[in-house]
Structure 1
Amino acid sequence: MRLLVLSDIHANYPALDAVLNDAQSRSFDRVIHLGDALGYGPHPVEVVTALRDLGATCILGNHEHTMLTYVDNRRTSQDKELALPLTWQLSQLSKLDLALIRSWPDGVDDSPLGARYRHGTPVSMDTYTDSVNAARDAFARWQGRLGFVGHTHTPAAYATLKGPVGDWVKVRTFPEGGSYQVPRGARVILNPGSVGQPRDGNPHASYGIYDSVSEVFEVFRVPYPVALTQKAMREVGLPERLAARLALGQ
């Protein structure tokens, strides 16, 4: 089984389109999206439609969760950079789109692969797996072997192995992409990075492919027309800082 692992598209359709075109040449059997398809960007309808057409297994991210609290009048808009894109996106999405988003679960256990898919950590939607200490805490709270998360916008692999003085947790990052062989006997948390808003200094879209037979996780970085997304963001009045950061990978 080859999984195409996506996360944090953030309504950036040119980035998603570039990723899907690149991934077609590498072959995959299933598509997993780890949350935050929405928020920040100018193409909510196009992104939701693409994920629907792919038959992707989609996980609820903190941006979708926040959007639904607006829909249900459980939260008022406060942070402009978070709220303005989400409230504008709400005006673009149909009832069918919102029904689909509402169906996305906060985490999925994939029994055949022995994997867990969640947005932040294997045990949280909105906690970041962004350091060895954070990974160590996640491993302590979750006893699974294979976890896939997003949220940090930085591709990484965390592995815990038994050592003479307890668990050793090691991290591997992928600023330019690369291949990671899951160590035999290790427990791992794998992050494909962000399709639509990378934050590791590389503006190229990031995605992963996991091969369950070879237990190899590959991260690919794909250029896309950043200026096209920036133009669309400015045309609909989204915050300038959100547009500018795309070119910087921040």
Structure 2
Amino acid sequence: MRALLLSDIHSNKPALDAVVEHAHRDGARYGATYFLGDALGYGPHPREVLETLQGLRAQCILGNHDLGLLQLADGLKTAAVGTGTQVLVWQISRLSERDLRYVRGWKDVIEEATLGARLRHGSPLSLNEYTNMDAARRSFRNWDGGLAFVGHTHVPAAYATLSGMTGEWMRHQPIITLPGQSSTGYSVPPKARVILNPGSVGQPRDGDPRAAYGIYDSKKRTLEVFRVPYDIAQTQYDLRAAGLPESLAERLSTGR
């Protein structure tokens, strides 16, 4: 099966539109679309992004910003001083109860039998944990699955563990798409256990401002990460028009 993987849209509709158009060019179709969390937070288009995900019939999991917004909306969390919370409070005022019900229906984790994979926002073990080498080691020790898809770091990457002559070893491989290239492929090594991150649609943090998304082919056991230009200026304009922090507009130009 070919699966479309989206993550960390962060209320950036121009980026999501560009990704959806690119992913479905020439009539391309997918067995399923999975969203790995953080539709909300940081950006100026919360409702529009939720509407697009519904239209895609994406299977969605909660990100930390999605969960934080629900907790604020339900009075389970007090609004603290900070850019992230400021944006979530603003977004709540733009969302309907129907929108909130939609996000409340998202799961913390999905065990997808079709792919033989676990889908979670942060790491295979936690919604909030950033997957780095230490977190990946913990995941491989405490989770017995062979394939996981995560987001949260906003950086495309693969973590693989293999058995060698000197015992088990682990490798981290950034999935970098150079300027002038549109995609980079990663082939899952035979018998490897892997954690894969397709990067961020709406707020990349690897120095490449282009939107990122992934296509996983379960038959070939390959992940291809695509980078797509989008109308950054429009998102920046909408952020400023909404009176949201200038830092959120500036970072989009640098992919940081």
**What is the match of residue 173 of structure 1?**
174
The DSSP-based 3-state class of the residue aligned with 2:125 is coil
List aligned pairs for 1:127-146, cutoff 5 A: 127-130=129-132, 132-146=133-147
From 35, 38, 46, give the equivalent of 1:36: 38
CA distance in 2, matches of 1:175, 1:229: 24
Instruction: Kindly report the root-mean-square deviation, in angstroms, between the aligned alpha carbons of the 2 structures.
Output: 1.0
1:41-87 deviation digits (Å, cap 9, x = unpaired): 00001100000011000000000111111111111111421111111
**What is the match of residue 101 of structure 1?**
103
CA distance in 2, matches of 1:148, 1:21: 22
Q: Does 1:196 align with 2:196?
A: no
CA distance in 2, matches of 1:51, 1:225: 19
Task: Tell me whether 197-206 or 176-185 shows the greater mean CA deviation.
Answer: 176-185
Structure 1 gap ranges (5+): none
State the shift of 1:173 in Å.
1.3
The DSSP-based 3-state class of the residue aligned with 1:168 is strand
**What is the match of residue 83 of structure 2?**
81
1:99-150 deviation digits (Å, cap 9, x = unpaired): 00000000100123211000000110000002x2221111111110010000
State the shift of 1:246 in Å.
0.5
CA distance in 1, matches of 2:185, 2:65: 29
Aligned positions, number: 249
State the shift of 1:166 in Å.
2.7
The DSSP-based 3-state class of the residue aligned with 1:39 is coil
**What is the match of residue 3 of structure 1?**
3
**What is the match of residue 48 of structure 2?**
46
The DSSP-based 3-state class of the residue aligned with 2:145 is coil
**What is the match of residue 249 of structure 1?**
255
The DSSP-based 3-state class of the residue aligned with 1:247 is helix
The DSSP-based 3-state class of the residue aligned with 1:19 is helix
Q: Give percent identity, aligned residues only.
A: 53
**What is the match of residue 180 of structure 2?**
none
From 224, 228, 234, give the equivalent of 1:222: 228
The DSSP-based 3-state class of the residue aligned with 2:173 is strand
CA distance in 2, matches of 1:231, 1:163: 52
Q: Does 1:151 align with 2:124?
A: no
State the shift of 1:175 in Å.
2.5
Q: Does 1:235 align with 2:241?
A: yes
CA distance in 2, matches of 1:161, 1:84: 43
State the shift of 1:174 in Å.
1.9
Q: Normalising to structure 2: TM-score of the pair?
A: 0.95
CA distance in 2, matches of 1:112, 1:175: 28
CA distance in 1, matches of 2:187, 2:225: 12
**What is the match of residue 115 of structure 1?**
117
**What is the match of residue 183 of structure 1?**
189
**What is the match of residue 64 of structure 1?**
66
State the shift of 1:169 in Å.
0.9
CA distance in 2, matches of 1:166, 1:117: 27
Task: Tell me whether 36-45 or 74-83 shows the greater mean CA deviation.
Answer: 74-83
Task: Tell me whether 196-205 or 157-166 shows the greater mean CA deviation.
Answer: 157-166
Q: Normalising to structure 1: TM-score of the pair?
A: 0.97
Task: Tell me whether 77-86 or 181-190 shows the greater mean CA deviation.
Answer: 77-86
State the shift of 1:163 in Å.
1.9
CA distance in 1, matches of 2:209, 2:29: 24
